[in-house]
Structure 1
Amino acid sequence: MGIIIKPIITEKITKDGEVFNRFGFIVDKKANKIQIKLAVEAAYGVSVVEVNTMNYRADRSVKYTKSGLISGKTNAYKKAIVQVKEGETIDFYNNI
């Protein structure tokens, strides 16, 4: 599980999983589409049809509070949207 860091469970991704058989994962920044495909097939036992990836940059933010300025940033990450074969699904909620 070095390539797949964690699955993305949001309303939009869950709806895509039910309608279009697409599931989202946060993956290693250096992983390519072939490595992601092989990792998902090995971890969940499904056939992957398509993999789309997106790189998200780190966002900086500044908050003005009573005690002064607080600065911070979010982490940069890579997101992969994986489409599985028709009739197959990935169940994130069942621990088998």
Structure 2
Amino acid sequence: MTTPYDVIIKPVISERSMDDAANKKYTFKVATDANKTQVKHALEEIFGVEVAKVNIMNVQGKVKRMGKTVGRRPASKKAIVTLTEKSKEIEFFQGL
């Protein structure tokens, strides 16, 4: 069985994710085998918030070249989580 800390890898800090944080939408990088239900339960347990909706997207790895050899960065998965109106905010995003 996986722990919530295995599901949520790290928060995504970007200009767009900071704008969405004002509307209680937070972006996280999650495990590639995680589903919406696992992400919801993990966030509720880690941060003590109420999750209204979870949107997940698969991000393909970029193709990179080193001279004549071609490689690919690993693929990942992102989750955009919307909290309920009465839920408290995630403190991690408030100081940024």
TM range (shorter): 0.7 to 0.9
Shift of 1:57: 1.0
Aligned residues: 89
Counterpart pick for 2:39 among 36, 39, 44? 36
Distance 2:14 2:83 in 1: 18
Runs of 5+ consecutive residues of structure 1 not aligned to the other structure: none
Deviations 1:27-60 (A, max 9, x none): 0111110000000000000000000000011121
Tell me the C-alpha RMSD between the 2 structures. 1.8
Is 2:3 the counterpart of 1:3?
no
Q: TM-score, normalised by structure 1?
A: 0.82
Q: Which has the larger radius of gyration?
A: 1
Secondary structure in 2 aligned to 1:2? helix
Q: Is the 8 A contact 2:21 2:93 kept in 1?
A: no
Q: TM-score, normalised by structure 2?
A: 0.82
Is 2:89 the counterpart of 1:89?
yes
For 2:37, give the aligned amino acid: I
Q: Is the 8 A contact 2:18 2:93 kept in 1?
A: no
Shift of 1:70: 6.0
Shift of 1:23: 0.1
Higher helix share goes to which structure?
A: 2
Secondary structure in 1 aligned to 2:19? helix
Secondary structure in 2 aligned to 1:42? helix
Is 2:25 the counterpart of 1:22?
yes
Higher strand share goes to which structure?
A: 1
